[in-house]
């Protein structure tokens, strides 16, 4: 999963790979957004058909990171 997220978001991630802490945050956010089948369907529909998760980078000077997951 981590490798696929990285491949799909190279322009957003840049030269700073996803850290272990950031990956844990991504997993937590994903679980929160898909608690029920209804929540999962709504999230997967996303914005214009793109499901994203936005997190703060561990190195705050890099700013937030908005990742396309599906």
Q: Give me the residue spans of the domains in the chain.
A: 2-68
Tokens at 67, concatenated: 């990742």
Which residues make beta-bridge pairs with 56? Answer: 64
Is the CB of residue 68 less than 8 Å from the CB of residue 51?
A: yes
pLDDT at position 58 over 80: yes
Residue pLDDT, tens place only, 6-48: 998 999 898 999 999 999 999 999 999 899 999 888 888 877 7
pTM assigned to the model: 0.83
């Amino acid at each position: 999963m981590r490798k696929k997220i990285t491949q799909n978001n190279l322009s957003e991630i840049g030269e700073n790979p996803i850290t272990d802490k950031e990956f844990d945050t991504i997993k937590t956010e994903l679980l929160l957004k898909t608690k029920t089948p209804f929540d999962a369907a709504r999230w997967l529909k996303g914005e214009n058909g793109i499901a994203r998760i936005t997190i703060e980078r561990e190195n705050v000077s890099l700013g937030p990171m908005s990742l396309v997951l599906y």
